[in-house]
Structure 1
Amino acid sequence: MSASQSFATWCLLLSNLCFLATALDTCRTAWFDEGDASGDGDSELLTDLRRTHWPRICSSPVDMEAETVSGVKSQHTGNIFHTYSATGGLLCLNSEQTWRPCEDYKVMFTCTGQFCSGCRTRWFDHDDPTGNGDYEVLSDLREMYPREMCPRPIAIEVQTVSGEPASNTSDALLSYDAAYGFACVNAEQRGRSCEDYRVRFTCPEEFCQVSEQCRTRWVNGDNSSDEGDVESIHQLTRTFPGQVCGNPIGIEAKTTAGISAEHTGDTFLSYDVTFGFACINEKQRGKRCEDYQVTLTCPSDFCQGCRTRWFDVDDPTGEGDYETLLQLQMLYAPGRLCTQPVAIEAVTLAGVPAHKTDDVLQVYDATSGFACVNAEQPGGRRCHDYKVRFTCPLDFCKE
């Protein structure tokens, strides 16, 4: 190989590496629909969107996609756009249309840099394309890894398991946004199957800033009624003073019979840390909402009030690691552990928070304690070795 050929080869390799690094640092936001089509048209301008959703949209997007709220791509509507760019957003004026008014649009932005990498989850690969396609859906991932996923990601990245960005493949993608997740359907490809993909999400900064977090006991502030079941954060703090935090960073819901909310088939009006949980009967199809209970993940300021020492009575050499509240209360005198803790923390012996491990946790709440079962771990591996500590009511520390 000549010197000039060698130089050209290195330039090509370096440019490919730079492109790959840039591609891997890009992420997509959720869809935004701030304005409705009116007499003047539809406005989804970046300045307006950032004013309302500033933590969820980067300041300098590198790309933008737009489609109608019914899912028709903007290039297929026939509308003429006054503004259509990543730096400006979308503006469609009825006065500039030739034969039909503006549609009602939603927009999604592609971001790069610190916005994508600031508070990022690990990669998740829940599905593969051997069936109908590859579905890496946020609701499924939150159900499987509730402590590793924030309730409302601000961005998503997708690549094949070999590291190729999804945007570089020739697959037709059904969904790719932070609010839903990712979906590629085999039937929509031309005579082939989708690639096998993995995803990771960017979460709000506060999700990563909390180095210590604890989980409350399960609380049920409302019973299923003619209207439904509402477990709002505001009402829970009033019903259970001192037992739940007013600024949770995570929430999980299940029925009083122990069925995860995602498995009930109910449609939820709200299921997030901003409001809490709400299931309304009139939104269901021929059925009533179940009776739900929730547990909240709270930041460190709530956890530190009246805290016990760390307890470690078991290890995963047998069936798993069990640090149950009943077991600990039997082993330790009443002065060492309160009878009704308001929160629990669990970390590995190396200090890694339980929600940041890959373990599937069977029990993790202040009412019951902690349990990780070896048989439930993927790949035939064992649970980590954990220790736990509890937050007790303030009067426990005053005794």
Structure 2
Amino acid sequence: MLFQGLAFWCLLVSDHRYFVTALETCQTAWFDDGDFSSQGDSERLGDLKRNHQTRICSNPVDMEAQTLSGIKSQDTKNTFNVNSASEGFVCLNSEQKQRECYDYKVKFTCTGQFCSECRTRWFDHDDPQGNGDYELLSDLLLSYPKVICIQPIAIEVQTVSGKPASNTSDVFLTYDATYGFACVNAQQGHKDCDDYKVRFTCPTEFCQGFVSISNIRLVPQECRTRWLSSDNSSAVGDIESITHLLKAFPGQVCREPVSIEAKTTKGVPAKHTGDKFLSYNVEFGLVCINEDQVGGQCEDYQVMLTCPSDFCQGCRTRWFDLDNPTLQGDFETLLHIQMLYPTEICSQPVGIEAMTVSGVPALKAGDVFQIYDAAQGFTCVNAQQPGGKRCQDYKVRFTCPQSFCPV
């Protein structure tokens, strides 16, 4: 695969310094439109673009072909009349020496605006503990139904450290915009899968109502609540449902969150506890029932919700930028802001937004955050960033209870 992962490397000159930058790529879904017949199989790019229009880019940089059963084209011993990203794929029975053509499917690697125009944030829903790493579209749609389209047109996959999946040695069970991504440990030989994250490109109409960032991509406006715990682990279990949270924290919880995160009250992420959840999604919230657990009762959980932008617009502060990442990192803590600007911010905010000073939402910036919640503020530590890079420079603003704002 000539152009998988990071397709081209180019050299840019600025202020007499040289920077190497990578052109991002994404992969389409698989297509099987050709008339598989006594003549062979044809999956020409021109035909596919007429049938699928915006689901294929105008100028793919690479193409992959497999049989419907998953055998790579180079392993079938078929001879191909056409096999290129610029033209597509054609296999003619009349040109075969050993056996007739298989029935093939193809997918393309694209770049540029096709990948970035309406792109989701990165998702890391699973890790390779147990059977492997499963970042399946069906699972992500359950947990984040409002920030992923039902039928993505492309997918990107990287390790959590930022290495393109195609540059690893792992074997993938599925890597497809239609189904998502899965890596099974048992298929890797004597090693486990890496830990992966995925993001999707959606049809442009999915991004209506989102905001454009630097004319590069469309991203949803969102804000985060503080960590919330409406229930303690009891004889039944732990129930942090949206309904329970709305009753326990009036004015502090949105009715239709776009994503949910959960961790124990001691700080262990929910996916690392080993508990089985009756529910863990934004439609209902988190529910853990003791009798469903193998070795005892559920942990005591807390959840944080990401809400639509309108939840945070009622009583909102100005943007604050107290720090920059020159030393240990960027620290925009609530306590520090309250000490410097006591009359401009409430004591108990109900929401927080963070973005880089250039206007990129924090969840799209690619950094790892130590703290990002309405109760504590925001911190990004340089030493915690993958690849030795430094945090970007961030600013924050908070949403306060309506009583804090003048009538």
TM tier relative to shorter chain: 0.5 to 0.7
**Structure 1: how far apart are the matches of 2:197 and 2:228?**
35
Secondary structure of the equivalent of 1:355?
A: helix
Per-residue deviation at 1:358? Answer: 0.8
**Structure 1: how far apart are the matches of 2:279 and 2:263?**
14
Which residue number in structure 2 is paired with residue 215 of structure 1?
Answer: 224
Per-residue deviation at 1:182? Answer: 1.8
Is residue 2:147 matched to residue 1:138? no
**Structure 1: how far apart are the matches of 2:265 and 2:148?**
22
Secondary structure of the equivalent of 1:358?
A: coil
AA matched with 2:375: T
Is residue 2:264 matched to residue 1:255? yes
Which of 375, 391, 401 aligns to 1:367? It is: 375
Which residue number in structure 1 is paired with residue 200 of structure 2?
Answer: 201
- Does the 8 Å CA contact 1:123/1:199 hold for their aligned counterparts? yes
Which residue number in structure 2 is paired with residue 26 of structure 1?
Answer: 28
- Does the 8 Å CA contact 1:172/1:188 hold for their aligned counterparts? yes
AA matched with 2:357: L
Per-residue deviation at 1:256? Answer: 1.1
The 3 A distance-change label for structure 1 pair 248 and 387 is same
Which residue number in structure 1 is paired with residue 248 of structure 2?
Answer: 239
Per-residue deviation at 1:120? Answer: 2.8
Secondary structure of the equivalent of 1:138?
A: strand
The 3 A distance-change label for structure 1 pair 180 and 61 is closer
**Structure 1: how far apart are the matches of 2:54 and 2:376?**
47
- Does the 8 Å CA contact 2:157/2:199 hold for their aligned counterparts? no
Per-residue deviation at 1:174? Answer: 3.0
Which residue number in structure 2 is paired with residue 303 of structure 1?
Answer: 312
Secondary structure of the equivalent of 2:405?
A: helix
The 3 A distance-change label for structure 1 pair 332 and 124 is closer
**Structure 2: how far apart are the matches of 1:391 and 1:236?**
18
Is residue 2:344 matched to residue 1:322? no
Secondary structure of the equivalent of 1:326?
A: helix
Which of 371, 377, 391 aligns to 1:383? It is: 391
Secondary structure of the equivalent of 1:290?
A: coil
Which residue number in structure 2 is paired with residue 82 of structure 1?
Answer: none
**Structure 1: how far apart are the matches of 2:278 and 2:194?**
34
**Structure 1: how far apart are the matches of 2:196 and 2:253?**
38
- Does the 8 Å CA contact 1:229/1:278 hold for their aligned counterparts? yes
Any idea what the Cα deviations from partners look like across 1:236-278, whole Å, max 9, x if unmatched?
1122111110011111111111111112111112111111111
Is residue 2:354 matched to residue 1:354? no
- Does the 8 Å CA contact 1:158/1:197 hold for their aligned counterparts? no
Secondary structure of the equivalent of 1:237?
A: helix
Secondary structure of the equivalent of 2:245?
A: helix
Per-residue deviation at 1:126? Answer: 12
Instruction: List alignment gaps of at least 5 residues for structure 2.
Output: 1-24, 31-51, 57-66, 70-106, 211-218
The 3 A distance-change label for structure 1 pair 242 and 184 is same
Secondary structure of the equivalent of 2:223?
A: strand
Secondary structure of the equivalent of 2:327?
A: coil
AA matched with 1:383: C
Is residue 2:279 matched to residue 1:277? no
Per-residue deviation at 1:203? Answer: 6.4
The 3 A distance-change label for structure 1 pair 245 and 59 is farther
Is residue 2:351 matched to residue 1:343? yes
**Structure 2: how far apart are the matches of 1:200 and 1:317?**
30
- Does the 8 Å CA contact 1:154/1:201 hold for their aligned counterparts? no
Q: Percent identity at matched positions?
A: 54
What is the 5 A alignment of 1:89-108? none
The 3 A distance-change label for structure 1 pair 249 and 196 is closer
After TM superposition, the score normalised by the length of structure 2 is 0.58
Report the RMSD for the aligned CA atoms in angstroms: 5.0
Secondary structure of the equivalent of 1:379?
A: helix
Per-residue deviation at 1:66? Answer: 11
Is residue 2:298 matched to residue 1:289? yes
**Structure 1: how far apart are the matches of 2:230 and 2:193?**
45
After TM superposition, the score normalised by the length of structure 1 is 0.59
Which residue number in structure 1 is paired with residue 182 of structure 2?
Answer: 182
- Does the 8 Å CA contact 1:154/1:202 hold for their aligned counterparts? no
**Structure 2: how far apart are the matches of 1:61 and 1:271?**
31
Structure with the bigger percentage of strand:
2
Per-residue deviation at 1:344? Answer: 0.5
AA matched with 2:155: E
Is residue 2:225 matched to residue 1:228? no
Structure with the bigger percentage of helix:
1
- Does the 8 Å CA contact 2:260/2:281 hold for their aligned counterparts? yes
The 3 A distance-change label for structure 1 pair 173 and 207 is farther
**Structure 1: how far apart are the matches of 2:174 and 2:120?**
20
Is residue 2:321 matched to residue 1:312? yes
Which residue number in structure 2 is paired with residue 50 of structure 1?
Answer: none
